[in-house]
Structure 1
Amino acid sequence: MKLISKTLKIFMLFLAVTLVSCNEEYPDLEDGLYAEIVTSKDTMIAKLFYDKVPVTVANFVALAEGNHPMMGDEFKGKPYYDSLTFHRVMDKFMIQGGDHTATGGGNPGYKFTADFHPSLEHDKGGLLSMANGGGFNTNGSQFFVTEVPYPSLNAYDGNGELKPCQQRGVSCHSIFGELVKGIEVQDAISNVAVDPRTKKPIEDVYILKVTIIRKGSDAKSFNAPEVFESQLPKVEEEISLIQANQKEKIEQERLEREEKIATASVSTKAMIDDYTSKTIALASGLKKYVLTEGTTAKPRAGDSVRVFYEGYFTDGRLFDTDRPEIATKYGMFNQAREDANAYGPTAMWVNPTARMIAGFKEALASLAIGEKAFFYMPSHLAYGESGNRGIPPNTDLTFIVEMVSVIEK
């Protein structure tokens, strides 16, 4: 009985909005291709960028009109989006729909390679963009509507180059439309109560009907199935070429980085050997050589401090540093780390229970404010027999550490 009541409710809403839609021609819309998205919260109108991303728009339009050449047999001849839900809603981010399973794991029976345009950026709310599973060719029927700018979703980087979308953790989403009416509807949907784990609305929000509106001769002549079939191979070829060029560029950068590391490591090894010969061994086996004297004041156990550090293998190779100039010298500068303001003096805790290797805890405790010293750490004071990410087991390490300041409580 509950299922029948729910189905009847959807049908009545669907009938009502169909009658309204049939009588609305939106005379104020300029020439173009539009999608009227009628939801259980009200209606949104999106202008589709068929001149910039024809394949992605053709995919959406053909699904909406039920004539997509690649859609599964069970969907053929039916408006795909009608009666689906917005299955993922995240306030101050986006609303996502277009999955017939309402789980985020469904597809229309195929996946395709979307096209992108450098002028289309996730720089505001109300943008329609394709949801995907990562990479270039995992697009299907799912789309989202942004509520706020979200530049990390852009397919192009700040230099106007297509990002390596096939790499893990790199997001590339094709914008294919923008709301011109009903931005408040997007906001209303984004504010509904959701399951905190799945982000699915507790009470379903429906896409009751999607109707494609064609204004002007160009839009009226846009044949979505034909455009999709004729243009997709060209997009796939372009993307394949871009991927090949990116792979070549990445390999070239890797070789240049290795050469830079090798060159820098030669002089650094000589420095490490020199400093090591001047160290004084402490009772634990940690060896220390003071490079710059500090003040007479030392942090107390429990103090939080800021330090600069450089970590080297004994052969002169750098494995980590919070100094951007040192990272650049060794070809290890990380732009993402720079963007996150993660270079510069690092906050650390001077305490025997701090979560860091034993040798580094002892090194911190030995430094005075303003002091800079070289430390040689036998493997048992470093990562020992287990090793750590990028550091093999039983590896001696060296550090240059500068105690900058105590963080005032």
Structure 2
Amino acid sequence: GDCCAPPSPPSWTMANSNPQVFFDIALDGQVAGRVTFELFAHIVPKTAENFRALCTGEMGKGRSGKRLNFLGSTFHRIIPGFMCQGGDFTRGDGTGGESIYGDKFKDENFKMKHSGKGCLSMANAGPNTNGSQFFICTGSTPHLDGKHVVFGKVVSGYEVVQQMERCGSSSGTTSKRVVIHSCGEVEKDGGAPAAKRARTEAPAGEVQVLHIIRKHSGSRGASSL
């Protein structure tokens, strides 16, 4: 059930019109279950729409020549007690990814805070470098407030995130291949996934979230998490 789901802080009151999307997660080819997210379209509409469309794959191919879709991509970096990072559907190692708006887009706002387990936020390589990489918080990460755009939360299936977390390590390397086996948008009535859910295969997929606050900010690539 939902006994493991994190409580929702008061600031996370759901707007009924907000979209919900899902990931079916596979660990080394074995389906672990479904994680469902609410996207905060009422606060960060552009960021939420990017993630929603990347779940459905409805935008077709991007500039990289790869389909703009999370399907088949991996969570390449998982640090227990911190976060699970994924969304690099072009390279799969944290150096790639692409938004539906082109390559990168600006930080929309930092109204939502990293409020704990289940928080969904954008990975980046510094200010205004949002692409497709994201992370799910599995611990308290207040040092990321004002640096990463929070745009959603886990509403069901947090126990699946916990299974993912157990595949991680302090370095972020995963012991199992953690793959988004299926993904799409949930129908508003809570029924079956939307018809436009992703169906085509995508290649398995470094933007980072700083585990500890860096003393200097000269690192290259996506290493701001």
SS at match of 2:115: coil
Query: Does residue 42 of structure 1 match 2:33?
Result: yes
Amino acid at match of 1:127: C
Contact 2:110 2:148 in 1 (8 A): no
Partner Cα distance (2:17, 2:132) in 1 = 26
Partner Cα distance (2:84, 2:60) in 1 = 27
Amino acid at match of 1:154: D
TM-score (norm 1): 0.38
Amino acid at match of 2:186: I
- Which residue pairs with 1:72 in the alignment? 63
Between structures 1 and 2, the one with greater helix share: 1
Alignment of 1:281-320 (within 5 A): none
Contact 1:94 1:148 in 2 (8 A): yes
- Which residue pairs with 2:148 in the alignment? 173
Task: State the 1:66 CA deviation.
Answer: 2.4
Alignment of 1:7-406 (within 5 A): 32-40=18-26, 41-68=32-59, 71-72=62-63, 74-75=65-66, 78=67, 80-100=69-89, 101-108=91-98, 110-118=103-111, 120-135=112-127, 137-155=128-146, 172-194=147-169, 197=171, 199-215=172-188
1:341-396: CA deviation from partner (whole Å, max 9, x where unpaired): xxxxxxxxxxxxxxxxxxxxxxxxxxxxxxxxxxxxxxxxxxxxxxxxxxxxxxxx
1:306-350: CA deviation from partner (whole Å, max 9, x where unpaired): xxxxxxxxxxxxxxxxxxxxxxxxxxxxxx9xxxxxxxxxxxxxx
Partner Cα distance (1:203, 1:146) in 2 = 19
Task: State the 1:74 CA deviation.
Answer: 1.6
State the identity as a percent.
Answer: 32
Task: State the 1:73 CA deviation.
Answer: 5.4
SS at match of 2:76: strand
Task: State the 1:71 CA deviation.
Answer: 2.7
1:279-299: CA deviation from partner (whole Å, max 9, x where unpaired): xxxxxxxxxxxxxxxxxxxxx
Contact 2:78 2:174 in 1 (8 A): yes
Structure 2 unpaired stretches of 5+: 1-15, 27-31, 190-212, 214-225
Question: Highest Rg: 1 or 2?
Answer: 1
Aligned residue pairs, count: 167
Amino acid at match of 1:50: A
Structure with the greater relative contact order (CA < 8 A, sep ≥ 6): 1 or 2? 2
SS at match of 2:175: coil
Structure 1 unpaired stretches of 5+: 1-29, 156-171, 217-335, 337-409
1:164-187: CA deviation from partner (whole Å, max 9, x where unpaired): xxxxxxxx1111111110111111
TM-score (norm 2): 0.67
- Aligned CA RMSD, in angstroms, stands at 2.4
Amino acid at match of 2:107: A
